[in-house]
Amino acid sequence: MKLIILDRDGVINYDSAAYIKHPDEWLAIPGSLQAIARLHQAGWTVAVASNQSGLARGYFDTTMLTAIHHKLRKELAQVGGSIDAFFVCPHGPDDGCACRKPLPGLFHEIARRYDTDLTGVPAVGDSMRDLQASYAAGCIPWVVQTGNGEKTVKQADLPPTTHFAADLAAVVDQILSGH
């Protein structure tokens, strides 16, 4: 199985310090949906692993989160792409869960769902917690410079196997070309 794991906010869509609370606030980063479509068409399984503490904070509910993901799926389908599944941590930063990145719980859930070892699986994020969680799960962390990525790449303590790219489209270019 060719599996890739993507963070959502800052990788697929623009992030917001005020949280993405409604489908109208969800806006794809240029080229991201086409990049996912290219992966899908090349036989890759695309999973999303996303902290969504806005649920715990009461900024939106699961019905609204589902509506946001429906918009993402609809726009993605229009360019020939698909996301196999969304894995979401609904907890706040102080809830003590194992699924909130930087802990690898969401990644372990993905491994169980697909009955696979995540060693070497590319995982794309824009923040240090994305990279830490993916590295702890055995994935190859990729950091993009969209979202929080410009700030993240300047940090000195990135996981040792971190790969760098301008955006999701550049990650996909490298993965599909075998580099």
Written as one letter, the residue type at 102 is P
Number of independent structural domains in the chain: 1
Which pLDDT score is estimated for 30?
98
Query: pLDDT tens digit string along 56-86?
Result: 999 999 999 999 999 999 999 999 999 999 9
Q: What residues make up the domain containing 101?
A: 3-177
Give which of 39, 49, 66 is closest to 9, Cα–Cα: 49
7 catalytic per annotation: yes
In this prediction the pTM is 0.97
CATH number of the domain encompassing residue 46: 3.40.50.1000
* 3-class DSSP string for 69-86: HHHHHHHHHHCCCCCCEE
**Residue of 7, 15, 130, 167 marked active site:** 7
| Residue 178 pLDDT level (bands cut at 50, 70, 90) | confident
Report the mean per-residue pLDDT for the chain.
97
Query: pLDDT tens digit string along 83-108?
Result: 999 999 999 999 999 999 999 999 99
24 catalytic per annotation: no
* Through-space distance between the first and last CA atoms of the chain, rounded to whole angstroms: 18
Task: Put the strands of the sheet holding 140-144 in their side by side order.
Answer: 85-89, 45-51, 3-6, 122-125, 140-144, 163-165
**Residue of 9, 15, 130, 167 marked active site:** 9
